[in-house]
């Protein structure tokens, strides 16, 4: 499988996760139960009136956490590895490149180790 196909597959996986996760978090924290908060004593989840701010605050935190998770998954899925350094290390391990050539190319590529 080519790198572009693999990246597109990862991106599609992240988008599907986002499409499933964000509505779930919104329903869980912001929207409340399916019947609506008005059926539970007139306050969200039947909570005391003094705690009216808890559910929206938890919803905001849940939404932020969901968005951060989607962003982290996106970053992981779209960040390519350093293929040039990996190839250089493989060539060095096979003995195709001597020590001096390896060090020179590694410095040129900006890698460490």
**Token pair for 82:** 């350093």
One-letter-per-residue 3-state SS of the chain: CCHHHHHHHHHHHHHHHHHHHHHHHHHHHHHCCCCCHHHCCCCHHHCCHHHCCHHHHHHHHHHHHHHHHHHHHHHHHHCCCCHHHHHHHHHHHHCCCCHHHHHHHHHHHCCCC
Segment 26-75, tens digit of pLDDT: 666 665 555 555 555 555 555 555 566 777 788 888 889 988 988 888 88
What pLDDT shows up at residue 45? 52
Domain range for 102: 82-113
What pLDDT shows up at residue 96? 92
What pLDDT shows up at residue 33? 52
Same-domain pairing of 47 and 70: yes
Confidence of residue 110 (pLDDT cuts 50, 70, 90): confident
Same-domain pairing of 15 and 63: yes
Same-domain pairing of 8 and 43: yes
Q: Is the per-residue pLDDT at 93 higher than 90? A: yes
Same-domain pairing of 35 and 47: yes
Q: Report how many domains make up the chain.
A: 2
User: Looking at residues 101-112, what average pLDDT do you find?
Assistant: 83
Same-domain pairing of 98 and 74: no
Same-domain pairing of 27 and 53: yes
Same-domain pairing of 25 and 55: yes
């Amino acid at each position: 499988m080519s790198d572009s196909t693999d990246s597109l597959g990862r991106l599609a996986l992240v988008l599907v996760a986002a499409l499933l996760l964000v509505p779930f978090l919104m329903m869980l924290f912001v929207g409340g139960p399916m019947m609506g908060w008005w059926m539970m004593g007139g306050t969200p989840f039947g909570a005391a009136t003094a705690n009216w701010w808890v559910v929206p605050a938890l919803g905001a935190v849940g939404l932020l956490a969901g968005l951060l998770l989607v962003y982290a998954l996106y970053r992981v899925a779209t960040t390519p590895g350093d293929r040039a350094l990996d190839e250089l290390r493989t060539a060095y391990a096979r003995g195709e490149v001597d020590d001096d050539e390896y060090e020179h190319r590694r410095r040129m590529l900006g890698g460490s180790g």
